[in-house]
Amino acid sequence: MGIELKFSHLCRVDKMLSIYGETFSSRLLLGTAQYPSPLILADAVRAAQTEIVTVSLRRESGTDRAGQDFWQFIKQFGLKILPNTAGCSSVKEAVTTAHMAREVFGTDWIKLEVIGELDTLQPDPFALVEATRILCADGFKVLPYTTDDLVVADKLVQAGCEVLMPWGAPIGSGRGLNNIYALRTMRAHFPETVLIIDAGIGVPSHASQAMELGFDAVLINTAVAKAGDPALMARGFAQAVEAGRLCYDADPIEARDMAVPSTPLFGKAFL
């Protein structure tokens, strides 16, 4: 009698990524900035198999202005658009940009960035929380770019965020996960909140590590856009994110200081 192998457990429909009531099968979000050309961007999007892409608002992209060509190009992918407030450094600027993005892109989702320090592009926690309160009260679904600070994270959740996007390292640095302890603590402290690593990821192993820690997704931009072969790198990230999530779901063994034999001594032949 043959042995029937069933792999139904690999179909993780019940474990899809859920953000503000919408579900996605991919846990890789992709930024659309800095690519050498639109065609290379398109190849990377296809290779990443992503379902969410971030787009910076072009302030000049009104109805009849430059930037509409890019917006039309992005729309052809048929993906969820996540506008961001990249480059904003004050509450007023971020809130105004978010309202403009809602009008231009037709979505109440916003990746909120309020930068407070130029060398590291670290978020301004005070302005970020204030802008979040204003936007959540106005019906926005806010995905805030923040640090791994628990106090700030808690205030963002209290303000209405169902998603937090802590950095792994400074934007574009490629350093990976700078503070594993803090990120692991954040995951434990917010078990019901969607956590997406945003910024600092440099190579696929960084993304896999984030997923193994239990994070729900990762957002990649520079590491793909600036790679020698963006499409190939996007494919590598897609596989790494999937592998990391499978590892987390499988409940991996804990690290040990001593060796543990994989073959038991019981039943060993004695000569």
As a whole number of angstroms, the distance between CA 163 and CA 30 comes to 17
Q: How far is CA 200 from CA 9, 69, 183, 254, 270, in A?
A: 33, 29, 13, 26, 55
Which positions are catalytic?
111
Residue with tokens 């231009």: 104
The residue type found at 201 is I
Residue 164 burial class via C-beta count within 10 angstroms: exposed 0-12, middle 13-18, buried 19 and up: buried
Q: Which ranges constitute the DSSP H helices of 160-221?
A: 180-189, 204-212
Please give the distance of CA 254 from its chain centroid, rounded to a whole number.
26
The residue type found at 224 is V
